[in-house]
């Protein structure tokens, strides 16, 4: 079982920000911005490339709710999903990084 499935199952502790029947948002263990939240479907999906349009349609309002809940919906944020090896994906369970809480620098590397 992947580490994010273990988080969903409660086998690995997490710092939950927001939760619904189908999605979970929790703080990244190694934050790269003042706010760094990971947003995942509870059901295992490998990556963005294979997610269904139906799941993304459900996930979109959940992501927007997370931004509102942590108070960065007005100030702004960056939403990233690393997809596959060249995208730098390390955990093979679909997740969106929500980064904010400061004016972010765009790194072109």
CB 11 within 8 A of CB 58: no
Annotated active-site residue in 27, 95, 97, 108: 95
Interactions with ligand 5GP, residue window 27-66 (CB under 6 A): 28-30, 38
Q: Which of 5, 47, 55, 56 binds Zn ion (CB under 5 A)?
A: 5
Nearest to 34 by CA among 76, 94, 87: 76
Q: Does residue 95 have an active-site annotation?
A: yes
Give the residue, chosen from 4, 23, 26, 96, that forms a contact with Zn ion under the rule CB under 5 A: 4
Residues 6+ apart with CB under 8 A from 50: none
Q: How many residues does the chain have?
A: 109
Binding residues for ligand 5GP, per CB under 6 A?
3, 12, 14, 26, 28-30, 38, 82, 88-91
């Amino acid at each position: 079982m992947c580490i994010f499935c273990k988080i969903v199952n409660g086998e690995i502790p997490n710092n939950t920000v927001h939760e619904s029947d189908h999605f979970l948002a929790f703080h990244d263990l190694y934050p790269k911005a003042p706010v760094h939240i990971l947003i995942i479907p509870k059901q295992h999906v490998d990556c963005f490339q294979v997610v269904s349009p139906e799941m993304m349609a459900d996930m979109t309002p959940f992501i927007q709710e997370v931004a509102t809940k942590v108070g960065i919906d007005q100030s702004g944020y960056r939403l990233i999903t690393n997809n596959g090896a060249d995208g730098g994906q390390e955990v093979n369970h679909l997740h969106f990084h929500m980064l904010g809480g400061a004016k972010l620098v765009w790194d072109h590397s």
